[in-house]
Amino acid sequence: MTSLIDSFGREITYIRVSVTDKCDLRCDYCSPAKGVHPNGKYTEYLTAEEISRICSAFVRLGVKRIRFTGGEPLLRKDLTEIVSMINQDNDNLDLSLSTNATRLERYAKPLYQAGIRRLNISLDTLNADEFNRITRGGNLNKVLTGIYQAKKIGFDPIKINTVMMRGVNDDQMENLIDWSAKYGLELRFIEIMPIGKSGIDSMNKHIPMQEMLERVEKHLGEKLIPSISRQGGGPAKYYRTEKKHLGIGVISAVSQHFCATCNRVRLTSRGTLALCLGQEHSIDLRQPIRDGISDNELEAMIVKSMELKPERHFFNENRKNIEFRQMVSLGG
């Protein structure tokens, strides 16, 4: 079997699939308040069959993990159909979902039945007013109800991803640690990244990973120990405490990039295969598919695209080329 190896010897085994670039929240560090929010014509988006066909091609090329993301993936009405299709066509896949959980109460069960087992939920605060402010109108209660329902159904793990920002939600750090421990959720603190104008404008609130870890230690009253067994191919670094048996993850894309072990590419809802979160290198798969290319030709295009994957992002050195990229399109 051909596998996907890029020019720097990294094997690509993971694809993040954005099924829509629309979102029902407008987090102020992610989306502009109004205007320039993606709103494509129906035909601009990949169909369920097209997404499934591309994912199956990736699986034949050695990809084992597929994460559905967005925009908000639960806004896409045929999401469970997409997941089922991919799950039925391929064996032993690790299927996961990133969501803001506003619609999770309703969709948790069908998604579990379709084959999703792991969930990442974005939640920046447990304070309802602060949540409403950050998301520009979101309802915290709906999110919490969705999370508790997902726990009941049996998703495992459920990871809570919190973008930690100084003066915005860092008052919630300790609260989030205690709440996650109480409900058996895996908490990960994420450094704000300079992606899109909203992200770049929020960089003055950036909190480096080291500072977050020191605060966690202070709160728990124990030293954090790197959790070697948990350091997978992903960007998070995991830590645990000896006495309280608590774990925490940190994603530090800015203060310490992890590009050397990057194992992933991203498919946007309009069919662009993006080879790096922080750089433009990409190819279009939608038009060739609609022009009728064969499965073999599709696989060959994907293999060839690996030559374009850049060595690393340049978040700190050059923000110009990521000013107009949007997290809602790239899927995080």
Near ligand SAM in 67-86, by CB under 6 A: 69-70, 72
The correct pick among 51, 95, 134, 163 for binding ligand SAM (CB under 6 A) is: 163
- Asked if residue 269 lies in contact with residue 42, where contact means CB atoms within 8 angstroms, the answer is no
CA-nearest of 44, 103, 50, 43 to 73 is 103
- Site size with ligand SAM, rule: CB under 6 A: 21
In the complex with ligand SAM, the residue whose CB is nearer, 5 or 128, is 128
Binding segment for ligand SAM (CB under 6 A), chosen from 134-142, 192-200, 223-231, 278-286, is 192-200
Q: Which of 180, 170, 177 is nearest to 147 (CA)?
A: 180
- Binding to ligand SAM by residue 322, rule CB under 6 A? no
Q: Which is nearer to ligand SAM, 70 or 235 (CB)?
A: 70
The Cα 140–Cα 92 span in angstroms is: 35
Contact between 195 and ligand SAM by CB under 6 A: the answer reads yes
By CB under 6 A, tell whether 190 contacts ligand SAM.
yes
Verify binding: residue 146, ligand SAM, rule CB under 6 A: no
**Residue span 5-44 as binding mask against ligand SAM, x where in contact by CB under 6 A, dash where not:** ------------------x-----xx--------------
- Classified as helix, coil or strand, 236 is strand
| Minimum CB distance to ligand SAM, residue 234 (Å) | 14
The pair of three-digit structure tokens given for residue 259, joined into one six-digit string: 């590009």
Q: Are 244 and 222 in contact (CB under 8 A)?
A: yes
* Residue 108 or 192 having the CB closest to ligand SAM: 192
- DSSP secondary structure letters along 62-88: T--EEEEESS-GGGSTTHHHHHHHHHH
Phi/psi at 70 (5° precision) = -160, -155
> Does residue 329 interact with ligand SAM by CB under 6 A?
no
> Which of 202, 263 has the CB closer to ligand SAM?
202
**What one-character-per-residue DSSP string does 311-325 give?**
S---TTT--GGGTT-
Question: CA 328 → CA 27, 46, 266, distances in Å?
Answer: 10, 16, 12
What character string, x for contact with ligand SAM (CB under 6 A) and - otherwise, covers 100-119? Answer: x-------------------
Residue 16 DSSP SS3:
strand
Residues of this chain that bind ligand SAM (CB under 6 A):
23, 29-30, 69-70, 72, 98-100, 122, 161, 163, 190, 192-193, 195, 199, 327-328, 331-332
